[in-house]
Amino acid sequence: MNFIVIFADDLGYGDLSCFGNPSIVTPNLDQMAAEGQKWTNFYVGAAVCTPSRAALMTGRLPVRNGMMSAINRVLYPYSTMGLPESEITIAEQLKKAGYTTGMVGKWHLGHKEQYLPTSNGFDTYYGIPYSNDMNMVLNSDHHYGYWELWTKYYRELQTEEFHVPLMKDTKIIEQPANQHTISERYTDTSIRFIKENKDRPFFLYIAHNFPHVPLFTNDRFKDRSKGGLYGDVVEELDFQIGRIIDTLKAENLDQNTVVVFTSDNGPWLQTEISGGTAGPLKDGKGTTWEGGMREPTIFWAPGHIKPAVITQLGTTMDLFTTFSKIAGIALPNDRELDGYDLSEVLFKRKKGPRNEVLYYREQELYAVRIGAFKAHFITKGGYGNGEKVYHKNPLLFNVDQDPGERFNIAEQHPDIVAQITRFAIQFEGKLSRMPDVLQHIERAK
């Protein structure tokens, strides 16, 4: 079985038409959801880019491997380190079974050669090594602050104002990268990889830079969506994903390939109209409210994955364990893994093994969900919005009945608060952490 993971950047829970968006049209993802499984309770390992991607790659909470920091929440172009060499990535795991591996898009786990995808189990790499808003070089007539760029002036921005590098393996081949065509070129590269490796098992990780700001799209998609420029960008992503699915069908690979689509974290609400929506969920990127870490997710594998809407719990960390099971690879026994095998849910629609979700921010456990109930021990808004509050009496929400986390029911259910609190204390008591990797920088920003 082949595996393809398609990761969007900052896509909100409510940004696809199959997840309820009334203005953005995503027919290809909608079709995948109809033919496969739409997961409505699927989570990432963190609410910002770097630790979320570390969780996906390693099947481990990023607080375990030093990729979660209270100093720098993500890696920057002036960061000196990256994913520790001791970590085992999905790519390295699948290579044990003879898989060819390719990575296309945003890596964000270290831009120096020893931390790039080609040093972490991927045979090939083509992409931008960090976020597309970094290395910002504004024209002289721009005098606004960072947030004003997105909330007031985003249509005036030029792709040349973001001096991000496009890399092939370990070499920079274009700088600044032309972001108007980057989604199309990522797809072209992915299609070549699929065709070149159609006769052998492969793992392809496609991590789009969008819809993270700055927003750019191909001219033929501009002004096409009722959702504005943000909608244009998401609709182009949907089109490019459709090209991947069409290629799998044309090459007769659709019957032996699992495709997973999700996002690295929720919408960046502070960018206002330049960001997306979490739909019925509370808040967005950067927070441990549901809108920050619950993501729109689709599993597709015609003839194998049983079509359904899945309301059970799942996380990106489960992909490491699930892919290993499908490929017949033993799991590493020298480290703690945080993933579960979801194959029984995917292929037989049976009850899955996951019953809890842990919501870490920076290096602290902010919240825990067990079953339908989620307790918040610490709350804080995203990116400077709202004070950090340690709750002596944890907040409690039934996020099945109340996904918007509007009604605190802690007083009605002290037994559930106590149960989740005990779980959190026990988990933290056993948790082993590596030193903070993200704090190391070459200079101050």
Active-site option among 18, 49, 212, 413: 49
Active-site option among 18, 108, 180, 440: 108
108 has catalytic annotation: yes
Among all chains, which residue has been given the structure tokens 């969008």? 210
**SS3 assignment for the chain:** CEEEEEEECCCCCCCCHHHCCCCCCCHHHHHHHHHCEEEEEEECCCCCHHHHHHHHHHCCCCCCCCCCCCCCCCCCCCECCCCCCCCCCHHHHHHCCCCEEEEEECCCCCCCHHHCHHHCCCCEEEECCCCCCCCECCCCCCCCCHHHHHHCCHHHCCHHHECCCEEECCEEEECCCCCCCHHHHHHHHHHHHHHHCCCCCEEEEEECCCCCCCCCCCHHHCCCCCCHHHHHHHHHHHHHHHHHHHHHHHCCCHHHEEEEEEECCCCCHHHHHHCCCCCCCCCCCCCCCHHHHEEEEEEECCCCCCCEEECCCEECHHHHHHHHHHHCCCCCCCCCCCCCCCHHHHHHCCCCCCCEEEEEECCEEEEEEECCEEEEEEECCCCCCCCCEEEEEEEEEECCCCCCCCCCCCCCCHHHHHHHHHHHHHHHHHCCCCCCCCCCECCCC
Which amino acids are annotated catalytic?
49, 108
